Amino acid sequence: MEEPIWNFEQEPRDDPGDETSVNLRSYFDRMPDEKMSEYSRSWSDEKVIEWDGNFRDDGCLMLLCCERDVDVKEYREVLEECMEYRDRVREKL
């Protein structure tokens, strides 16, 4: 597997996070820029779930090696943080 150019997983954060939050950040590091640029904050939660295509029937993201579930609210918050990170570091990569 090819390593992504992004390193949002290790970007400094306000809280220490847990295994699940690290894995979620890593998940976004591997999401193609083209796909991420399609995302719209105005979308409904259902549209976000459909767009990503990796959510379970109970509305939680399918992540490996997780301590807890990631719902669409947390997903959106971290996705938007990742988008801000990419905008900030894109020129440097």
Average pLDDT for the chain = 93
pLDDT value, residue 42 = 98
Tell me which residue of 56, 27, 57 sits closest to 36, measured CA to CA. Answer: 27
More confident residue, 76 or 5: 76
Mean pLDDT score, 73-89: 96
pLDDT in tens, 25-61: 999 999 999 999 999 999 999 999 999 999 999 999 9
pTM for the complete prediction?
Answer: 0.92
Distance CA 79, CA 36 (A): 8
Q: How far apart are CA 18 and CA 43, in angstroms?
A: 28
